[in-house]
Structure 1
């Protein structure tokens, strides 16, 4: 009788545990990180009798969680990549908003400023037209400054997000280390601590949202967690993570274990929000700064160079149109042994490349220059200065030692320095320093179409006479020209000497002359040759072969392509992550319909077990009555 009672009691207890486990699944159906649990029942070994083995009921062997290590790892990795792509795409979208088109964009401001010179070219003495040019220059400077400020604000936002992410990483790493200790202790009793394992898996998923990790399992149930090749969690200890800066000025992660802080190479961060932020800051945002700064330096240097060739309304030589932009000294590496300070200056604005540079000094004063935008390496035997992409690189003070390295960032903050240098409309150097006069005895109809200064030249204002011949050519006489004879003449084709370009129209007769000489006071106020030259800068090929007026369009295109590519990548990685998470939850998630069916199943089994105990009790009572 006791055997039947024991069978019923064991069945009652086992089904009670099954009911409790099913109820726990239902209660935690919406709990983040919870894995469905199932009761594993096994039969109690039967008792041997002369009639064979008689069963002794059922017992609960263990409670297991529905879990797939493979799917969990794959889903966490995919979510990490998705977090990286979506974070970078969001930041690039904000960057794209800075470089807008239309009438309020920086490109329109550049065009407006240059176009405003057309009125000065038509009426060089009109102070109103000159004031419009100064106003347009101020507007251009303000838009450059605004773009730089917005880039700085975006940088500040990225830095704030990185700091928050680092705090989250350190918190999660400490949590995982604590869970490792609890799991290792609990695993010693021979049963799996399901709830602790779920909590650790969820902490790992949250950690992978911040930075992609790899894990190595230990025999005691603990996990070692690595970021790149650096150990973040080893057993029950976690290494703190912080933000650092390398010798190039790029931001990175550092892991400190003991007294040693080791940087984590950016390329080893395969995913996570931090990887997306670092890639945006160190690559996308840095490149945007270079593009904007290169544009600022190119425009201001090009316009200044042309403006200095002219003469203002008071007959004085032209000065700078914009305030010159100073190129900052290169950043010295922390391991340098020399004392050199390395700087750069602009020598050819049309050759500037939107890039930073890595400088490495070698033996005998040699220098290796790496253009960081595309990795192009140029070697120089020395000595300095050397010319690279329109920049002259030189040692300002001190001495460079072989092995010293520097990072030159010429354009990172240049747009914030754009400012107009003109304070008076009369200071606008619209006039050319030279004028052209046709000979009084000319018999042909050759006329001067334009005369504009193109470059500084010591003989620019020296008198030069062109004398036409019967052969359709002309002879040249004047200092600095070399006095060539028999130069072919074609109407509309520029004639260049001493830093000026002269364009003639019509047909000359033999003996006709054109004289180019220093401008006279009477002619200076009516002369707008330099204003015309400034206006013609719209078509100057200065941005990688593109006209000055199209430089901003190129910048917008480059940023836009990156943003579009990042959005596409984010969509793909999100789809992959969603599919893998669906696969994981199909194994580990709670299906309420399935659990409801199990609830009825175990309820009926529990009631049957109770009925078994009741029957055993009735039989026992009947036996007692028959024996009394």
Structure 2
């Protein structure tokens, strides 16, 4: 042991104190830098040496500068952030869908249903009032327009989600590529973890990229021995060290809006959290259920009204009538393109004069089954049966529509006694037209001439039995719907959506609290504490001063020795 060794050890202490002070200064400088992870300066004692009976130490050596982070806590926070991002986006989608109902401001579908029911009641009190017939038609048209708009707005929400899906997949690909590149840089600088220091700036960038990625998809992050990270999504790797697997959107099933797949092997990406999961769930489940419910409501409304209306008569008969829909003429009735499959039965076609007096009634049979094997009816065979009636002609137009017309001046025709449901299923003498919420509309025949509103059952001007059956139809239990009324179907739909929105809001609030707790714990570890840094700064300052005093003392002793 010599004075030179003492000076050498103290010089190492000076250098170590300087590095420690530099680390403290860097932490303080980045105290407000988003995503910055606090750095720790690690010092170590070199191996001692033996001198006689003594084992002598050799001061201090810098061992490395590392990030101060709890990796397990960070992964829990990323997972919670992924679930929170998913919940918040689902909450937003459900809130948008719930606002489409507009039942709180008096302009919702329930209010439109109430208005139509009220108009029918008013007409029932004064069935011969032409203005009240017009009110019924206008009120029904307002209902259909509201249903059209609601469906259109739901489609717009889905379109926005489709656009967000494309953007989010691109962001995932960009972040995956960025993380893979940072993996290479970190591994290169750190020498595959052969040195004791972290590539702190690059690791901060990678940490921020992983945190952002965790908002988009649910990730499982595993750091490798080389300092790189591998990122898995439900067992499939997205990033493996320096390699990144890109995602794509497969539009093979266009009706489903596209599936997210890996570009290299076309495997479908399985998700359980993050914005990408929320977008897919919002598009396919939340919006999909609303669209299906609206279509189901529209079809039920049209079927129930049309079934009754198609068997009644207005103030006059038809001289010609063409369906709005096109059909497959030679197919069995369950494959002919009808609004629904009719039952085995028959319907009446009655010829009347201009005064509404009955001239003749003709029964048209409707048979189910295969046309060739079972002798089942087809649209073409029913057309032929109608065409054989003296005074009427029936044909299939070039567009595939069914057209019935009177051949005799002053002779008109009406429908009634339909036990098969074919007349309504084919769109003849109906109140509504359309196959779903998007296309539902009041029959143009009624809009052009409200006197065609079929309020009679026994003939033109004979009674108001048809109107009596339609009044309160919205609140009547429907056997084919399991005893649920049209209004109940809407209420069930609206209540289910309101409950889902409420539950999602509660779940999101819980996730926010949980995430905030984990984030607070994480920041307590990784964030810069100015008081602690100030103490460290004083510690390194005192160490530097003490090492300097040792060097000064050793130098004086050395000078004394050399002067002897």
TM-score by length of structure 2 reads 0.75
Contact 2:66 2:198 (C-alpha < 8 Å) held by counterparts = no
Please tell me whether residue 561 in structure 1 is matched to residue 499 in structure 2: yes
Q: Say which of 287, 293, 303 aligns to 1:301.
A: 303
Please tell me whether residue 229 in structure 1 is matched to residue 235 in structure 2: yes
Query: 2-side partners of 1:327 and 1:553: how far apart?
Result: 34
Please tell me whether residue 593 in structure 1 is matched to residue 531 in structure 2: yes
Q: Which residue of 2 aligns with 1:157?
A: 160
Contact 1:5 1:612 (C-alpha < 8 Å) held by counterparts = yes
Contact 1:120 1:126 (C-alpha < 8 Å) held by counterparts = yes
Please tell me whether residue 12 in structure 1 is matched to residue 19 in structure 2: no
Contact 1:310 1:317 (C-alpha < 8 Å) held by counterparts = no
- Aligned 1:339-418 pairs, distance under 5 A: 345-347=339-341, 414-418=436-440
Residue 2 (structure 1) shift: 2.5
| Gap change, CA 1:15 and 1:251, over 3 Å in 2 | same
Q: Say which of 107, 110, 122 aligns to 1:107.
A: 110
Residue 590 (structure 1) shift: 2.2
Q: Which residue of 1 aligns with 2:476?
A: 540
Query: 2-side partners of 1:17 and 1:348: how far apart?
Result: 88
Which piece of structure 1 moves more, 23-32 or 596-605? Answer: 23-32
Contact 1:91 1:280 (C-alpha < 8 Å) held by counterparts = yes
Q: Which residue of 1 aligns with 2:198?
A: 193
Which one has a larger percent strand, Structure 1 or Structure 2? 1
Residue 204 (structure 1) shift: 1.5
Q: Say which of 568, 573, 598 aligns to 2:511.
A: 573
Contact 1:251 1:282 (C-alpha < 8 Å) held by counterparts = no
Unaligned runs of 5+ in 2: 329-334, 344-368, 372-433
Contact 1:308 1:317 (C-alpha < 8 Å) held by counterparts = no
Which one has a larger percent helix, Structure 1 or Structure 2? 2
Residue 12 (structure 1) shift: 0.9
Q: Which residue of 1 aligns with 2:263?
A: 256
Please tell me whether residue 611 in structure 1 is matched to residue 543 in structure 2: no
Residue 80 (structure 1) shift: 0.9
| Gap change, CA 1:219 and 1:179, over 3 Å in 2 | same
Query: 2-side partners of 1:99 and 1:563: how far apart?
Result: 13
Give CA deviations for 1:565-607 in whole Å, capped at 9, x if unaligned.
1112212222222222223233333222111111111122122
Query: 2-side partners of 1:115 and 1:550: how far apart?
Result: 17
Contact 1:110 1:549 (C-alpha < 8 Å) held by counterparts = yes
**What SS does the corresponding residue of 2:266 show, helix, strand or coil?**
strand
Residue 283 (structure 1) shift: 0.9
| Gap change, CA 1:541 and 1:18, over 3 Å in 2 | same
Which piece of structure 1 moves more, 134-143 or 40-49? Answer: 40-49
Contact 1:130 1:428 (C-alpha < 8 Å) held by counterparts = no
Contact 2:326 2:337 (C-alpha < 8 Å) held by counterparts = no
Give CA deviations for 1:461-497 in whole Å, capped at 9, x if unaligned.
xxxxxxxxxxxxxxxxxxxxxxxxxxxxxxxxxxxxx
**What SS does the corresponding residue of 2:312 show, helix, strand or coil?**
coil
Query: 2-side partners of 1:418 and 1:318: how far apart?
Result: 23
Aligned residues: 461
Q: Which residue of 2 aligns with 1:269?
A: 271
Query: 2-side partners of 1:30 and 1:413: how far apart?
Result: 59
- Aligned 1:65-464 pairs, distance under 5 A: 65-102=67-104, 103-188=106-191, 189-195=194-200, 196-245=202-251, 247=253, 249=256, 251-257=258-264, 260-264=265-269, 268-315=270-317, 345-347=339-341, 414-421=436-443, 422-434=446-458
Query: 1-side partners of 2:249 and 2:101: how far apart?
Result: 29
**What SS does the corresponding residue of 2:69 show, helix, strand or coil?**
coil
Residue 163 (structure 1) shift: 1.6
**What SS does the corresponding residue of 1:417 show, helix, strand or coil?**
coil
Residue 170 (structure 1) shift: 0.7
Residue 32 (structure 1) shift: 3.0
Unaligned runs of 5+ in 1: 329-340, 350-381, 385-411, 435-518
TM-score by length of structure 1 reads 0.68
Residue 621 (structure 1) shift: 4.7
**What SS does the corresponding residue of 2:268 show, helix, strand or coil?**
strand
Residue 561 (structure 1) shift: 1.1
Residue 39 (structure 1) shift: 1.5
| Gap change, CA 1:569 and 1:245, over 3 Å in 2 | farther
Give CA deviations for 1:498-523 in whole Å, capped at 9, x if unaligned.
xxxxxxxxxxxxxxxxxxxxx4x6x5
**What SS does the corresponding residue of 1:423 show, helix, strand or coil?**
helix
Give CA deviations for 1:362-384 in whole Å, capped at 9, x if unaligned.
xxxxxxxxxxxxxxxxxxxx989
Contact 2:165 2:279 (C-alpha < 8 Å) held by counterparts = yes
Query: 2-side partners of 1:426 and 1:318: how far apart?
Result: 16
| Gap change, CA 1:27 and 1:424, over 3 Å in 2 | same
Contact 2:247 2:260 (C-alpha < 8 Å) held by counterparts = yes
| Gap change, CA 1:148 and 1:325, over 3 Å in 2 | farther
- Aligned 1:481-500 pairs, distance under 5 A: none
